[in-house]
Amino acid sequence: MPEPESTPTTPVVWAVVVAAGSGRRFGGAKQYAPLAGRRVLDWSVDAARSVADGVVVVVAPGDAETAEAAGDAVVPGGATRSESVRAGLSAVPADADVVVIHDGARPLASHALFRSVVDAVLAGADAAVPVVEVIDTVTDPHGVPVDRDSLRAVQTPQGFRASVLRRVHAGTPEATDDSSLVVAGGGRLRPVQGERWNLKITEPDDLVVAEALMEQR
């Protein structure tokens, strides 16, 4: 007699949106700047929510009230980006299968991009990251060019097998990018096509650009 077919369980996906920066370069907390009638952070959270069962927003200590409406949970960040990611991860339920890390200052990442990093993890990757080619010539500080074809610019959202992300963060490492921790730990990294205009809001002019691109859509 054949075995009863196992019921396929729907994978549980959570997102951690990191918005704990002080916006030193921007001249204020850029994640709360107005953009197309809402705040930068709201757009970033909404895109994350389109693939996630829940969203944890990590904010600077003291900003919890400001960010309240944005996520299912709002937690204070740490002194570094990696500490902030760990603070967010600790609020992700234990049954999550996939965790997506996203930068709160990237309001233009599309639903399709979120979908593709989640799908890549469900298909077997330990980490899936959007990459784009580098368009400008890049040099070292002495003006000697670096072969562009050997470089990739890495964006967020980045998708992770939850168990792998928790494991690489257990050692409290520091990195500007979580996927590099997975690579360093020997995990399977799957690049997916990023989006040229998945802009990281950095300077006030960037809001002009983001607004124009949103109107275009």
Q: Return the bridge partners of 38, or none.
A: 35
Closest distance to its own copies from the beta carbon of 137 (Å): 4
Please say which residue, 91 or 131, places its beta carbon nearer to its own copies.
131
In the list 31, 84, 116, 179, the residue contacting its own copies (rule: CB under 8 A) is 179
With 0-12 CB in 10 A as exposed, 13-18 as middle and 19+ as buried, what is 20?
Answer: buried
Please say which residue, 54 or 157, places its beta carbon nearer to its own copies.
157
Q: Residue 193: name the closest of 121, 83, 80, 112 by CA.
A: 112
Q: Are 151 and 188 in contact (CB under 8 A)?
A: no
Closest distance to its own copies from the beta carbon of 157 (Å): 13
12 binds its own copies (CB under 8 A): no
In the list 2, 8, 141, 171, the residue contacting its own copies (rule: CB under 8 A) is 141
Joined tokens for residue 173: 């490492």
Joined tokens for residue 115: 């979908």
> What Rg, from alpha-carbon coordinates, does the chain have?
18
Taking CA atoms, 167 is separated from 18, 86, 159, 182, in Å, by: 19, 11, 15, 9
Closest distance to its own copies from the beta carbon of 155 (Å): 6
In the list 12, 36, 91, 209, the residue contacting its own copies (rule: CB under 8 A) is 209
Q: Which helix (H) or strand (E) holds 83?
A: helix 81-89
Please, which of residues 38-97 interact with its own copies by CB under 8 A?
Answer: none
115 binds its own copies (CB under 8 A): no
* Residues contacting its own copies: total by CB under 8 A: 46
Closest distance to its own copies from the beta carbon of 66 (Å): 25
Rounded Cα–Cα distance for residues 22 and 20 (Å) = 7
167 binds its own copies (CB under 8 A): no
| Interface residue list for its own copies (CB under 8 A) | 127, 129, 131-132, 134-146, 148, 150-155, 175-177, 179-180, 182-184, 189, 191, 196-197, 200, 202-203, 205, 208-209, 211-213, 216
